[in-house]
Structure 1
Amino acid sequence: MAKVVIITGISSGMGRAAALYFQKQGFEVYGGARRVERLVDLQEQGIHTQALDVTDKLSVRGLVDHVISEEGHVDVLINNAGYGEYGPLEEVPVENAKKQFDVNLFGVDQITQLVLPFMRHQGSGRIVNISSIAANVYSPLGGWYHATKAGLNMWSDVLDTEVRRFGIRSVIVQPGLTKSEWSKIAFENARKNLLDDSPYEELVDKLGNLFGELGKGATSEDLAKVFYRAATDVRPKRRYYNSIMDHGMVMVARTMPNTYRVALNLLMK
């Protein structure tokens, strides 16, 4: 019997690459995204796709019910859907900040709550939560995004203590900068969140250019393999990183916060 994985946010980037990689490894892959027009070729390649809004409980339940009706079990859930609501904290509308939490954290909880009873019944399962090194490593304009990812890390750790007694594990993948649309979308949001004649306009331009220069790291395919390790390791780790550099940046930010702040200030000059 083939193992079954549900992956959210498979229309592009890491989620799309993961869907294809898991399928090549013999998994039955189910997933969805809001942009259904981007799912057509995945469906043609044998991946089970449907429209999915992780903030809509009916949409999420529809995906989980579909998987259970066809397969009868779920082995892995990869909570990948997410985005960056960038902008200066003084100017980001609170409703946009709430949306950031709805997608990046509460949406994760919503689908996980629906999957856990089936994993508990079968006595096994893996919840893989796609966070970011931005849960620890921070920069201007990303306050709400950083907050959601830091929250996701803690949420995952608490969940792991609750469900491992049932043979289920909850783990975190923390990607660094990747070759994807993420930075482009984040800074489009940052500019939308600026007020007229904002004093932060220069900062948005400067940081946007900097992210553009730095966004030449791992490919989505690289991260898909990290997702797979997190989903299939016999003895799973709490955290997974693509590179030593990603792990090192997190360790510096966590253990030497003053050093990190000095380095960030120098980078921003």
Structure 2
Amino acid sequence: MIITGISSGMGRASALYFKKQGFEVYGGARRVNKLVELNEAGIHTQVLDVTDKISIRSLVDRAISEQGQIDVLINNAGYGEYGPLEEVPIANAKKQFEVNLFAVGQVTQLVLPMMRQQGFGRIVNISSIGADVYSPLGGWYHATKASLNMWSDVLDSEVRNFGIRSVVVQPGLTKSEWSKIAFENARKNLVENSPYDGLVDKVEQLFSEIGTGATSEQLAQVFYKAATDIHPKRRYYHSLVDHGMVMIAKTMPNIYRNVLTKLMK
């Protein structure tokens, strides 16, 4: 199996968990120094830039050469390019789509021929409840995750006849570096004397007050279920709270917007 983005958080925990369950795990990340312990744990690691086709091809070819098949692909690599939509440079927005969506498509395109040949496979796409639930400053991030959900559904309709399934995991807030990096990006994306400076403080405070949900280790178990269920579901959530927030945002959008407005005040 292959997991992208294994240097920290959910990806790292998943690589270790799948290894414990007997999988031969291949994965990579740009931060090579963070892969040493994973390599020592028996995980096949290497440098990986998901925006570089040659880098992806190297990982996929190695997995096929050494194992002869690829049972599971977990598209986990991603990040949050936060900031006000008026001020986030379009180049940064394109990078957000490049990593969170187009890289997923690139990796998957390289894995699918092997899965079709072997007659089975599972593609697990790590999205977010942020595909349906939104907050200020996350516009480009939310757009990539909403796109990823639709992309996964379309892929599933195209490949199930080959014995392959494409499913989505939607984590909520997690105990990881994700929020810290997202708000660092939000401040970098502010222009000088930005009218949105106070909004960044307010949203960051809101995230802090909401607190964190699942640990990376708990989410690794959700990833495992999504990868191994005999009859897979379209969507996987860590908790009823995460699922409930999505349902409210989708079925009662005005109520969701009003609650968000009150929280922001």
Per the shorter chain, which TM-score range?
Answer: over 0.9
CA deviation string 1:166-220 (max 9, x = no partner): 0000000000001000000000000000000000000001111221232321100
Match in the other structure for 1:206 = 202
The two structures have a TM-score, normalised by structure 1, of 0.98
Of 224, 249, 252, 1:253 maps to 249
For residues 88 and 165 of structure 2, the distance between their equivalents in structure 1, rounded to whole angstroms, comes to 35
SS at match of 1:39: helix
For residues 27 and 212 of structure 1, the distance between their equivalents in structure 2, rounded to whole angstroms, comes to 36
For residues 244 and 255 of structure 1, the distance between their equivalents in structure 2, rounded to whole angstroms, comes to 16
Match in the other structure for 1:167 = 163
Contact 1:73–1:119 at 8 Å: present in 2 too?
yes
- Is 1:10 the counterpart of 2:6? The answer is yes
| Residue type at the aligned position of 2:126 | I
> Gapped runs of 5+ residues in structure 2?
none
Match in the other structure for 1:148 = 144
Contact 1:86–1:190 at 8 Å: present in 2 too?
yes
| Residue type at the aligned position of 2:113 | P
Of 159, 167, 180, 2:176 maps to 180
Of 217, 220, 225, 2:216 maps to 220
Of 21, 26, 31, 1:35 maps to 31
CA deviation string 1:236-267 (max 9, x = no partner): 00000000000000000000000100010011
Match in the other structure for 1:264 = 260
The two structures have a TM-score, normalised by structure 2, of 0.99
Match in the other structure for 1:64 = 60
SS at match of 2:6: coil
- Is 1:114 the counterpart of 2:110? The answer is yes
SS at match of 1:129: strand
Q: What is the aligned-residue RMSD (CA, Å)?
A: 0.5
CA deviation string 1:133-157 (max 9, x = no partner): 0000000000000000000000000
| Residue type at the aligned position of 1:31 | G
Query: Cα distance, 1:110 vs. partner?
Result: 0.1
> Pairwise mapping of residues 69-108 of structure 1 onto structure 2 (< 5 A)?
69-108=65-104
Query: Cα distance, 1:69 vs. partner?
Result: 0.9
Of 190, 194, 201, 1:194 maps to 190
> Gapped runs of 5+ residues in structure 1?
none
Match in the other structure for 2:133 = 137
> Pairwise mapping of residues 223-242 of structure 1 onto structure 2 (< 5 A)?
223-242=219-238
For residues 141 and 47 of structure 1, the distance between their equivalents in structure 2, rounded to whole angstroms, comes to 36
| Residue type at the aligned position of 1:37 | N
> Pairwise mapping of residues 11-26 of structure 1 onto structure 2 (< 5 A)?
11-26=7-22
SS at match of 1:170: strand
For residues 120 and 186 of structure 2, the distance between their equivalents in structure 1, rounded to whole angstroms, comes to 41
For residues 210 and 163 of structure 1, the distance between their equivalents in structure 2, rounded to whole angstroms, comes to 41
CA deviation string 1:82-136 (max 9, x = no partner): 0000000000000000000000000000000000000000000000000000000
Contact 1:93–1:193 at 8 Å: present in 2 too?
yes
Of 124, 130, 152, 1:128 maps to 124
Contact 1:183–1:212 at 8 Å: present in 2 too?
no
SS at match of 2:135: coil
For residues 46 and 207 of structure 2, the distance between their equivalents in structure 1, rounded to whole angstroms, comes to 32
| Residue type at the aligned position of 1:135 | A
Aligned length: 265
